[in-house]
């Protein structure tokens, strides 16, 4: 009897272009397993929105495996402990997995390798960290030279086909997905998620086809919140329902600035992994630490805490910011241009430490990614290894008008839906409905306060 091989799944919930699954299937019977590990992750336990997506992604994967008369084994607990026990239980001598770079997974991979024959594969990024290095052999810290060097190595390989699977003689015991209670109960805050998303490998490829059909317009459309110009592939890529190699391959049929711009955004994902490999705590520790003097800490006063709550709930009095934050709560996703505007508003208009925003996004985004989330927040806050300078303060009202966000605001801030274009971006007191809050702070006042705080920090530093 050929001994089965375990395939340990994490953020790689697909069958096609899955190097670990492909290699295992070529060698013997396969036991795919997913472990819900809330122990190893520490304070990085998966947020509520991500757990919603995970439930539906695992359900979709179970159906896909069913086409092969295969199964998905579900276990809950410390991943190293559960995989080790499962290997003994099933008589498996080898475990295959796609390599992950979050610090808790790197630690778990090291521990598991001491217990079983662990074979790690690359497959969640275009290139593994370390594949491109500076002239001195170091990992890149700055995106632009990193992307330039990486492009010279791409495509790294052709995407793999979905493998044929052989099943073990007996299947190990498995949890049931419903018992994990990944979905909200009461109140069901995820009601809008199902309307906004189709989840799973097929849905990812369907979305890719829709996006690439219109990718020639991406360079301009990606900045326009009122139209569907974004790829909306980020949660599919995060959970590995589609691989970046597959996306890159599909984009190879397209030339022009739109496709090239999106290739650059795929490379940003790779860049973020290079950053967290060098600085594992990057999503919680500033690379350039300006100290507490720059930030208004919500723990120090109820007015600051109220400002944070107003931002979280979309009640700042800035329509473009509020529309984005309400879209985030309703759908688990926010338009990328609006993410930058909303993030900048928290950090620079409200002077609240970027880590409060990073944590909120971690819990509310369906595409909450350890590397991307941390790198993006440090970029906007001016604290990152490669970042926008703090004194560069985005003007949300100007941005809203420039990128024609009127219909976007009408959709997500319905109290303003009847306002004309001349008022929708910045309603004055005569036109602002009583149900919509006044600005928590004026733009000019916020800008002057932020620059003054910056000067104080620099002069005292």
In CATH, what number does 1-124 get?
Answer: 3.40.50.620
Helix (H) or strand (E) run with residue 6 in it: strand 5-9
Alpha helix (H) ranges present in 345-387? 354-364, 370-381
The per-residue pLDDT for range 268-282, each reduced to its tens digit, is 999 999 999 999 999
Q: Using the predicted structure, report yes or no on whether residue 226 has a pLDDT greater than 90.
A: yes
The per-residue pLDDT for range 424-460, each reduced to its tens digit, is 999 999 999 999 999 999 999 999 999 999 999 888 7
Q: What is the mean pLDDT of residues 48-75?
A: 97
Give the model's pLDDT for residue 285. 95
Q: Using the predicted structure, report yes or no on whether residue 373 has a pLDDT greater than 90.
A: yes
Q: Using the predicted structure, report yes or no on whether residue 1 has a pLDDT greater than 70.
A: no
The DSSP call for residue 32 is E
Give the model's pLDDT for residue 313. 98
Q: What is the mean pLDDT of residues 225-237?
A: 96
**Quick one: pLDDT band at residue 33, thresholds 50, 70, 90?**
very high
Q: Using the predicted structure, report yes or no on whether residue 300 has a pLDDT greater than 90.
A: no
The per-residue pLDDT for range 178-203, each reduced to its tens digit, is 999 999 987 889 999 999 999 999 99
Q: Using the predicted structure, report yes or no on whether residue 90 has a pLDDT greater than 80.
A: yes
Helix (H) or strand (E) run with residue 222 in it: none
> Which residues are bridge partners to 121 per DSSP?
98
Q: What is the mean pLDDT of residues 218-234?
A: 95
All structural domains of the chain with their residue ranges: 1-124, 125-154+200-278, 292-460
Give the model's pLDDT for residue 302. 83
Mean residue pLDDT across the chain: 96
The per-residue pLDDT for range 132-161, each reduced to its tens digit, is 999 999 999 999 999 999 999 999 999 999
Q: Using the predicted structure, report yes or no on whether residue 301 has a pLDDT greater than 80.
A: no
Give the model's pLDDT for residue 461. 61
In CATH, what number does 292-460 get?
Answer: 1.10.579.10
Sign of the CA dihedral running 345, 348, 349, 354: positive
DSSP conformation letters of 250-269: HHTT--SHHHHHHHHHHHHH
Residue among 254, 245, 265, 154 at smallest CA distance from 214: 254
- 70 CB-near residues (< 8 Å, 6+ apart): 30, 32, 165, 167
Q: What are phi and psi of 295, to 5 degrees?
A: -105, 145
The DSSP call for residue 200 is S
Residue among 151, 103, 141 at smallest CA distance from 375: 141
Q: What is the mean pLDDT of residues 404-408?
A: 97
Give the model's pLDDT for residue 165. 97
In CATH, what number does 125-154+200-278 get?
Answer: 1.25.40.80
Residues 210/216/220/225 CA torsion (nearest 10 deg): 0
Give the model's pLDDT for residue 293. 80
């Amino acid at each position: 009897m050929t001994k089965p091989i375990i395939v340990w799944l994490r953020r790689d919930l697909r069958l096609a272009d899955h190097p670990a699954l492909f290699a295992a299937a070529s060698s013997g019977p396969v036991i795919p397993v997913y472990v819900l590990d809330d122990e190893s992750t520490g304070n990085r336990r998966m947020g509520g929105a991500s757990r919603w997506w995970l439930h539906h992604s695992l359900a979709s994967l179970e159906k896909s495996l069913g086409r092969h008369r295969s199964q998905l084994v579900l276990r809950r607990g410390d991943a190293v402990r559960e995989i080790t026990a499962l290997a003994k239980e099933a008589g498996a001598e080898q475990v295959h997995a796609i390599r992950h770079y979050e610090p808790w997974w790197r630690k778990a991979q090291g521990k598991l390798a001491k217990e079983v024959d662990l074979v790690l594969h690359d497959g969640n990024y275009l290139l593994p960290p370390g594949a491109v290095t500076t002239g001195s052999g170091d990992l890149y810290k700055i995106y632009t030279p990193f992307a330039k060097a990486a492009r010279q190595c791409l495509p790294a390989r052709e995407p793999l086909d979905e493998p044929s699977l052989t099943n073990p003689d007996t299947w190990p015991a498995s949890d049931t997905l419903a018992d994990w209670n990944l979905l909200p109960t009461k109140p069901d805050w995820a009601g809008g998620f199902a309307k906004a998303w189709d989840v799973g490998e097929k849905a990812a490829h369907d979305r890719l086809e829709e996006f690439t059909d219109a990718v020639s317009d991406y360079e301009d459309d990606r900045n326009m919140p009122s139209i569907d110009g974004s790829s909306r592939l980020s949660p599919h890529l995060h959970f590995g329902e589609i691989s970046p190699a597959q996306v890159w391959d599909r984009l190879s049929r397209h030339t022009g600035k739109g496709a090239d711009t999106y290739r650059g955004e795929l490379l940003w994902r790779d860049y973020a992994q290079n950053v967290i490999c060098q600085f594992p705590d990057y999503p919680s520790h500033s690379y350039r630490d300006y100290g507490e003097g720059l930030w208004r800490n919500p723990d120090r006063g109820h007015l600051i805490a109220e400002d944070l709550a107003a931002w979280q709930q979309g009640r700042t009095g800035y329509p473009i910011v509020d529309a984005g934050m309400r879209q985030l709560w309703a759908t688990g996703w926010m338009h990328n241009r609006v993410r930058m505007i909303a993030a900048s508003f928290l950090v620079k208009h409200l002077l609240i430490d970027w880590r409060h925003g990073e944590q909120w996004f971690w819990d509310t985004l369906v595409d909450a990614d350890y590397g991307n989330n941390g790198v993006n927040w440090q970029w906007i806050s001016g604290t990152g290894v490669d970042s926008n300078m703090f004194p560069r303060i985005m003007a949300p009202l100007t941005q809203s008008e420039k990128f024609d966000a009127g219909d976007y605001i009408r959709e997500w801030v319905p109290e303003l839906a009847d306002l004309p274009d001349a008022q929708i971006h910045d309603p004055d007191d005569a036109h602002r409905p009583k149900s919509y809050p006044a600005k928590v702070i004026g733009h000019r006042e916020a800008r002057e306060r932020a620059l003054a705080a910056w000067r104080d920090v620099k002069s005292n530093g």
